[in-house]
Structure 1
Amino acid sequence: MKVLMVNGSSHQGCTFTALSEIGKVLEKEGIEWEIFNIGGGPLRDCIGCGGCKSQDCACVFNDDIANEFLKKAREADGYIFGSPVYFAHPSGRIISLLDRAFVAGKKIFLHKPAACIASARRGGTTATFDVLNKYLTICQMPVVSSSYWNMVHGNTPSEVLEDEEGMQTMRNLGTNMAWLLKCIELAKKNGINPPENEIGVRTNFIR
């Protein structure tokens, strides 16, 4: 079993530090993990072109890291999406990536457990947390929670490590993710598979 974590910052700083704390717990639980760093290179927004409909869970634009992420996402059993707070919302970089990934590769994520975390110097964490969680709930992903809302505070990685409750929250999140992954694995071995949902009905508000 493997958890793919996304660092939605251009830097390996505070968000990376929080994800790494989760990774330590996953490793103790026998769960493989990897942090995918978005980095600082150019990253397109989704332009709603529909070109991904002719692709196999890939964006039609192949000039940035979006398809690299989708390839890694195929092999993962769970996900954690982390973002720093920029102007009281997630980084534009992680929004651009997830918009494209969840349109082009929706079936990759269906029914797989996931969580989101936010990192801030001071404010904007709850709004960031709320925005990121909407990707999970539209894709029928079991949302993994912790003992508090999944957020850490600090202006530097060393300050984040001093956020004792934040670090505790990250560790509990890792424990809960490992538990849920093991429950899902046990269910599969006993013939309990993800549900088949109704599809096809789309109601527009203006006819």
Structure 2
Amino acid sequence: MKVLAVNGSPRKDGNTHKMIMRVFEALETAGVETELAQVGGTAIRGCLSCYKCIERKDRRCATKSDGFNEMFEKMLDAQGIILASPTYFADITPELKALVDRAGFVSRVNGQLFRHKAGAAVISLRRGGGVHACDSINHLFQICGMFIVGSTYWNLGFGGREGTEVENDREGMENMTDLGASMAFLLQKIHRP
């Protein structure tokens, strides 16, 4: 079993990354393979509404120049998907939003390719807007028929702009550990031999 985490933050080693790594520790302890992919700070763009994916039904987006199709293949290969983002004006980063929109569309028009995968949102924030950002990610999981994994509280971690303070949010980091354990538990139940 494998869980892919997509970091939507342009700060590759910032608060969002630290939260992902805490989730990974719990997953790896449970024997689940992990992979980290970076979308924040990349050139991934939004959906062009060209509908070529509907016409072709080839599990790909017609826009081939921005790395989306490679990221989508990684998402298809994983049994669990974590989408992680800092909070930008009470929402996720534009790169992650572009991935959400396009991945959801391509998955749905090709027969619900994400159906029954496990999904979890991870959100870092300084003050507010984190619940809305989490909801933006969960919309993808819900519309694609995925199982949403939660923790003991919202999957949020508080940290400042410097990008390292989230480690001081004891409750938030404990939630990340629990989130990893909960995702491993669900995956083991779904993929029982």
Alpha carbons 2:39, 2:95 under 8 Å: kept = yes
Residue number in structure 1 paired with 2:92: 90
The structure 1 residue matched to 2:62, chosen from 40, 44, 60, is 60
Q: Structure 2: which 5+ residue stretches go unaligned?
A: none
Find out whether 1:153 has 2:158 as its counterpart. Answer: yes
Alpha carbons 1:21, 1:171 under 8 Å: kept = yes
Q: Tell me, what secondary structure is at the counterpart of 1:30?
A: coil
- Which is greater in Rg? 1
Deviations 1:14-40 (A, max 9, x none): 111100110011110000001111142
Alpha carbons 1:113, 1:143 under 8 Å: kept = yes
Which has the larger displacement, 40-49 or 133-142? 40-49
Residue correspondences, number: 187
Given the two structures, how large is their TM-score scaled by the length of structure 1?
0.87
Alpha carbons 2:40, 2:93 under 8 Å: kept = no
Q: Tell me, what secondary structure is at the counterpart of 2:184?
A: helix
Find out whether 1:11 has 2:16 as its counterpart. Answer: no
Residue number in structure 2 paired with 1:199: none
Q: CA deviation at 1:104?
A: 1.1
Equivalents in 1 of 2:135, 2:42: separation in Å? 26
Q: Structure 1: which 5+ residue stretches go unaligned?
A: 190-207
Residue number in structure 1 paired with 2:130: 125
Residue number in structure 2 paired with 1:100: 102
Residue number in structure 2 paired with 1:192: none
Q: Tell me, what secondary structure is at the counterpart of 2:148?
A: coil
The structure 1 residue matched to 2:114, chosen from 96, 109, 117, is 109
Equivalents in 2 of 1:6, 1:116: separation in Å? 10
Q: What percent of counterpart residues are identical?
A: 39
The runs of 4+ residues in structure 1 deviating greater than 2 Å are: 105-108
Residue number in structure 2 paired with 1:176: 182
Equivalents in 1 of 2:53, 2:11: separation in Å? 29
Given the two structures, how large is their TM-score scaled by the length of structure 2?
0.93
Deviations 1:123-162 (A, max 9, x none): 1101111111111111111110100000001023431111
Instruction: Indicate the RMSD between aligned Cα atoms, in angstroms.
Output: 1.2
Deviations 1:53-72 (A, max 9, x none): 21421110100121111111
